[in-house]
């Protein structure tokens, strides 16, 4: 909705929509920089915090929660560490403790926002797609539902081999939903399915590199 309103030159509506998006899920804040850069009336940027701040105070008042407790919950909210990309190796070996897991997450976020700041792409949709490629290649924390973020942008921009990437994403998602829906009684993932997920996952991760950077 935010991007649609930007395309329609309705900045106020776009900013309010983005503020509400951050309220409902924290991940849209990853795209704060390109959104802020795209706002011509910079005075509107302050409105981005309206819904998050307002509802934080409402939540604190209703449930008697301190701002510190709410902040801790927000900061600790993240995907699973070491289940995607090159981080799978360290995740499987269990070589990094919680402190270093947090540090790798912090390092990734710093690099992500630096990449976002120096991204010169003027087209907002292309800009966000480039950031999503960076995210999927380098993120240390991951959940499979994150794939839903990139699908609309792939369809809109249609980079080279994007259909192949969408097919791989679909297969990877299906491998997990198959287990959850049709192997309800299974206490552990069958070996054949785990191996399939690992193979598809690696090919998919490499495909993000190929489509996002090597096919330009």
Where would I find the H helices in 11-146? Answer: 11-24, 32-38, 50-63, 67-76, 87-93, 98-118, 124-138
The number of distinct structural domains making up the chain is 2
Does one domain contain both 69 and 127?
A: no
Does one domain contain both 205 and 157?
A: yes
Does one domain contain both 183 and 201?
A: yes
- The range of the structural domain enclosing residue 27 comes to 1-77
Residue 142 host element (H or E) = strand 141-142
- Out of 33, 51, 77, a domain closes at 77
Strands 80-81 and 141-142: antiparallel
Mean pLDDT of the chain: 86
pTM to 2 decimal places: 0.87
Residue 3 host element (H or E) = helix 2-7
What does the pLDDT look like over 109-135, one tens digit per residue?
999 999 999 998 989 999 999 999 999
DSSP string, 146-213: GHHHHHHHHHHH--TTHHHHHHHHHHHHHHHHHHHHH-TT-SS--HHHHHHHHHHHHHHHHHHHIIII
Does one domain contain both 154 and 92?
A: yes
Token pair 């509107």 is found at 44
What does the pLDDT look like over 172-212, one tens digit per residue?
998 888 777 777 677 777 787 788 888 899 999 999 999 98
């Amino acid at each position: 909705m935010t991007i649609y309103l930007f395309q329609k030159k309705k900045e106020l509506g776009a900013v309010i929509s983005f503020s509400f998006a951050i309220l409902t899920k924290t991940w849209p804040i990853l795209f704060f920089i390109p959104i802020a850069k795209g706002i011509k009336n910079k005075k509107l940027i302050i409105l981005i915090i309206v819904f998050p701040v307002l509802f934080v105070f409402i939540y604190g008042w209703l449930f008697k929660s301190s701002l510190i407790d709410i902040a801790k919950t927000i900061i600790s909210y993240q995907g699973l560490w070491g289940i995607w990309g090159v981080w799978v190796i360290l995740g499987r070996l269990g070589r990094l403790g919680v402190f270093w897991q947090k540090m790798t997450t912090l390092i990734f976020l710093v690099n992500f926002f630096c990449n976002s700041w120096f991204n010169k792409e003027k087209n907002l949709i292309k800009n966000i797609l480039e950031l999503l490629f960076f995210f999927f290649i380098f993120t240390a924390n991951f959940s499979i539902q994150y794939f839903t973020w990139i699908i609309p942008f792939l369809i809109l921009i249609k980079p080279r081999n994007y259909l192949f990437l969408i097919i791989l994403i679909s297969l990877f998602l299906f491998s997990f939903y198959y287990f959850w829906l049709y192997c309800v009684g299974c206490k552990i993932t069958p070996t054949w399915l785990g191996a399939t997920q690992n193979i598809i996952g690696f090919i998919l991760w490499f495909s993000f590199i190929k489509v996002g950077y090597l096919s330009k």
